[in-house]
Structure 1
């Protein structure tokens, strides 16, 4: 039955598994002697795309029979409870393992995920406790039945210079789009823009009427980059076609974007801020070639900007799996957004770079005056 269950759920696993989950289960299967070293290499080394790895792994285990498939399901449950649940797996033989897992979930717990859930949801009890204990120190989160959350994602993949193509960037786009949608945002996506088009897309987004019914926004920019800007699709050597990231804060400040005044504005920038060469990982560095008439308020307030690297350093991206930053953001938000506010989530992302000394993401121009909880599911 377990082997048949894997067959029935294989598409959901292929679509939902991320790189770290696949590698973890492969190691588990190796320890349990379900797979050997050659089969491990076949899954990880012979497949460069995440979905291909997931497909190879589940099919390899499934063909080994029910015992191997049962072990696979046990490890899937222990490593990614959300995906396990969203796949509709509730085998009788797994109930004890699931019970043990839930007992260790902590006092805040997680809501029953349900068949459509991809990330851990906040429980009504936890939301109520935060809203009561920290009423004056958290940003208001609107009821999902009434709000209209919007997010903007600009991803430059193709450039006039074909050598500048950002391989792996579409994987970043797919993962970030899904994360934002699961958090309740409608995602406006633009690809391959010039610096002028980036600025216009930002202005158009900032003027959207639905922001009046939103409690927050995300703006994600992904491209090649320089010290203080990101590159448009026409970039060549020199200072042409560069969008200054300082303009983001002007476009969305309290004067120019009244609809988002007093609301959290999360800016994520995946781009290099200097130049350096890489080998196995592909660098995102460049190739060598007033008064509003109503009340006084801080002009630039309620922002948090998370950059993929510190000034003058590179940001790393795998040509198939995407950038380290986006991978880590998705992993942390899926696991911890149900109980952590945004600054703590970004701190946890930074902590995952401890063993990767070539890059350190950084929070900049953070002017949040309160804690911003996403409360997924609420």
Structure 2
């Protein structure tokens, strides 16, 4: 792309208008191709249109193919006649196509031929038109707390956006708001007994609240509570309630868990944090399976042995001991990015790749001191899970 700009440099300088130069400068500043200093230098230091055009195209093409492609794209939008006269094409570099696609505000359906191409039971979790009609998801959002200092402003947007996404993906959403730790636990247990689970191809469980390592906080939580009296819900209970023993209806089906909550504390933040207090939390250890047996000495006795925990994938909004950030109007960054990724790419990407795309966006947060990295956890998916929206 940089070579294309170099090839049309002379004609661009001669034919581009002063108005289009100003528009391109604004566009390239918004795209972070140019910084404000570079924009001002081009405007103020170059006293003729030709000099500004020459400095603009030279500055951009030295920044590489991605920057050059962005400029070419903006030329096509700002001046179609100039674009044609320069003989440019708007086709992006193949390596950067996915990064440059605009995030969609609505769910993009997958194409029928894509769905047909993924009919491989050994590598892909099976999804049928019938199974998508029985999809069900659990959505729990804590917004208002007994102690109003902990109210999660902006979480209404998270609830609204996540519910809309899940419904668009074909899930019936079982929704709870402002629950105590015990009420969250009961909601997950009730969900494990939902009559649609036997026919669904998958489930989502989304819980959004304040949190600490290993737990999310109930709405009655306060910092004066003793550790054994805290109003919390242990995240590990999701895996216990939906695992093979307690929920056979979900055996061999993907169970996708999303937790939007802090897992610790980091002081000095400028954005609102999803933690309520600097607090240490002991690990919630669960007893593991006995290792004293020997499969070689086991005889058939009418039992079917299955994996204790399988087909889970959890995305936690941050790494252990750190905070999650939330905008007081637009909601949590992680939820915004999940909605963007699934709306735009669920039509062609499996769930692990979608979550990886969410994580990649956090690598380039436009802040200096705010850092957050979502974490994929307890992944026991043995095959690829495609959502196949709109089939």
State the TM-score, normalizing by the size of structure 1. 0.68
Cα distance change on mapping 1:282 and 1:29 into 2, 3 Å: farther
Q: CA deviation at 1:31?
A: 3.2
Stretch deviating more after TM superposition (140-149 or 362-371): 140-149
Aligned twin of 1:245: 235
State the alpha-carbon separation in 2 of the partners of residues 363 and 321 from structure 1. 24
Aligned twin of 1:189: 175
Q: How does 1:227-266 map to 2 (within 5 A)?
A: 227-237=213-223, 238-239=226-227, 240-266=230-256
Q: CA deviation at 1:279?
A: 4.3
Quick one: which of 354, 362, 375 aligns to 2:375?
A: 362
Q: How does 1:224-303 map to 2 (within 5 A)?
A: 224-237=210-223, 238-239=226-227, 240-287=230-277, 294-303=303-312
Quick one: which of 337, 347, 356 aligns to 1:338?
A: 347
State the alpha-carbon separation in 2 of the partners of residues 226 and 333 from structure 1. 27
State the alpha-carbon separation in 2 of the partners of residues 330 and 313 from structure 1. 22
Q: CA deviation at 1:277?
A: 3.0
Aligned twin of 1:199: 185
Counterpart check, 1:158 vs 2:153: no
CA deviation vs aligned residue, 1:154-202 (integer Å, no higher than 9, x gap): 0011111100000000100011001101100011110110000000000
Cα distance change on mapping 1:162 and 1:266 into 2, 3 Å: same
CA deviation vs aligned residue, 1:36-63 (integer Å, no higher than 9, x gap): xxxxxxxxxxxxxxxxxxxxxxxxxxxx
What are structure 2's unaligned runs of at least 5 residues?
1-21, 28-72, 75-88, 95-104, 280-288, 291-300
What are structure 1's unaligned runs of at least 5 residues?
1-26, 33-77, 80-99, 107-116
In 1, are the aligned partners of 2:201 and 2:253 still within 8 Å (CA)? Answer: yes
Quick one: which of 98, 106, 129 aligns to 1:143?
A: 129
In 2, are the aligned partners of 1:224 and 1:231 still within 8 Å (CA)? Answer: yes
Q: CA deviation at 1:281?
A: 1.2
In 2, are the aligned partners of 1:164 and 1:287 still within 8 Å (CA)? Answer: no
Q: CA deviation at 1:121?
A: 1.1
Aligned twin of 1:223: 209
Q: CA deviation at 1:293?
A: 6.0
Cα distance change on mapping 1:30 and 1:218 into 2, 3 Å: farther
Cα distance change on mapping 1:266 and 1:29 into 2, 3 Å: farther
Q: CA deviation at 1:145?
A: 7.5
Cα distance change on mapping 1:175 and 1:287 into 2, 3 Å: same
Q: CA deviation at 1:144?
A: 4.5
State the alpha-carbon separation in 1 of the partners of residues 324 and 261 from structure 2. 6
Aligned length: 279
Q: How does 1:1-378 map to 2 (within 5 A)?
A: 31=26, 118-131=106-119, 134-144=120-130, 147-237=133-223, 238-239=226-227, 240-287=230-277, 294-356=303-365, 358-378=371-391
Cα distance change on mapping 1:345 and 1:293 into 2, 3 Å: farther
Aligned residue for 2:118, secondary structure, equals helix
